[in-house]
Amino acid sequence: MSEDRSTLAKLLAAGDVVVLSGAGMSTESGIPDYRGPSGSLTRHTPMTYQTFVGDPAARRRYWARSHVGWRTMTGATPNDGHRAVAHLQRRGLVAGIVTQNVDGLHQAGGARAVVELHGSLHQVVCLDCGDSTSREELDRRLSQANPHFGVRAATINPDGDVELGDDEVNGFQVVACRACDTGTLKPDVVFFGETVPVDRVRECYALVERARLLLVLGSSLTVMSGRRFVLHANRLGIPVAIINQGETRGDAYATLTLDAPLGTILPELIRLTDAQAAGSSDPTHRL
């Protein structure tokens, strides 16, 4: 294990690293992943694009649950893993960040130019006219339309909603687009069953092609949406390193894998990288 960490520190020190992060990146911030030991898929089925678009009752249920969950999402703060990635980017070692997460915590932790593969919960889009607004504005409108909706929930799902019973959802009022008056609003995220925009995928491929190392953080790589970049790097002979708690579907293509909490191991890797740069065996750097 210590040899793998030293090897990874050397790869990081060489620079041109592209990070691909998943839900495990944010578990230490209180947002669960989908497929970990306590992942949300053990207790709920995520909303699909087809259901959201085609079923008004399901759409109302989603917005009621998401309206409650937004309070928890906005209260989540970056963890040491997010801050470590931002630190490596500021040092010029990380050349690109692609995240499968929709929580915005990479940016809150100081990272810049983050490619949000699956979009962002912080934006809302109208499916009819294409108008884009902030989630804060929608939250105010939903609160005004539902003044007596005082439901609170402690457990949030990775996609920003919570579990609510039918009796809690009944009567919740969904609001329409303000720009066109009647349009259907949707969080600007890629739902299950929806396709990632082609230009966004191309941007991610281009980042991988210029990388010296693809570093996967906190992703099981179960779905092709993220795994395709690991396969692409492997085809190009670009080393892949994976840090995740548990096995992933990309392990067979990895140069090395580490099973460890990101908030612990990433700061440690920074210290090892700094020590190698300084020629010291007693690193004292702190984030």
Known catalytic residues are 118
For residue 221, which of 201, 249, 247, 245 has the smallest C-alpha distance? 249
Residue 32 annotated as binding? Answer: yes
Residue 213 annotated as binding? Answer: no
Give residues with Cβ within 8 angstroms of 107, minimum separation 6: 114
Phi/psi of residue 242, nearest 5 degrees: -125, 125
Residue 185 annotated as binding? Answer: no
Helix axis angle, 2-13 relative to 262-278, nearest 10°?
Answer: 60
Residue 278 annotated as binding? Answer: no
Residue 126 annotated as binding? Answer: yes
- The type of residue at 256 is L
Residue 39 annotated as binding? Answer: yes
What does the DSSP assignment read for 232-278? HHHHTT--EEEE-SS--TTGGG-SEEE-S-HHHHHHHHHHHHHHHHH
240, 214 Cβ separation under 8 angstroms? yes
Residue 161 annotated as binding? Answer: no
Residue 36 annotated as binding? Answer: yes
Residue 100 annotated as binding? Answer: yes
Residue 180 annotated as binding? Answer: yes
Tokens 């960040």 belong to residue: 97
| Residue numbering of the annotated binding site for Zn(2+) | 126, 129, 177, 180
| Residue numbering of the annotated binding site for NAD(+) | 22-42, 100-103, 218-220, 244-246, 262
| Residue numbering of the annotated binding site | 22-42, 100-103, 126, 129, 177, 180, 218-220, 244-246, 262
